Amino acid sequence: MAMKESDANGGGHIANPRGLPLSKTFSVDPADNVTGYKSFNAGSFSFKRDEYFAHISTPKGSHTLAVDSFLRALMRDVAWGFFYGTVNFDQVFGTTNYYGEVDMFLGATNEAYTTAGRDFVERFKANELMDIFKQMISDWTNEGFDPFAAPMETGAPWGVKNGDNDKAVGRQRVTARRMVGLKGDTPLRSDASGYPVNRMFDDVKQDAPEVYPEPGFEHEVSAFNLFAYLSRSDVTWNPSVCSVVKDSLFCPTSEEYILPVEHGNDRCEWFITLSDEIIWNIKDGATGRPKAVVKQRAGDCACMPADIRHQGFSAKRAMLLVWENGSPKVPDLIREGKAPNVSVQF
CA nearest to 29, candidates 102, 129, 120, 132: 132
Does 19 or 286 have the greater pLDDT score? 286
CA nearest to 100, candidates 4, 8, 20, 1: 8
Proportion of the chain above pLDDT 90, given as a percent: 91
Residue 139 three-state SS:
helix
Q: Where in the chain is the domain with CATH 2.60.120.10?
A: 174-346
Name the pLDDT band for 173 (thresholds 50, 70, 90).
confident
Task: Read off the pLDDT of residues 73-82 as tens digits, 9 standing for 90 and up.
Answer: 999 999 999 9
Q: Exposed, middle or buried: residue 312 (CB in 10 Å: 0-12, 13-18, 19+)?
A: buried
pLDDT exceeds cutoff 60 at 294:
yes
Does CATH place domain 174-346 in 2.60.120.10?
Answer: yes
pLDDT exceeds cutoff 60 at 143:
yes
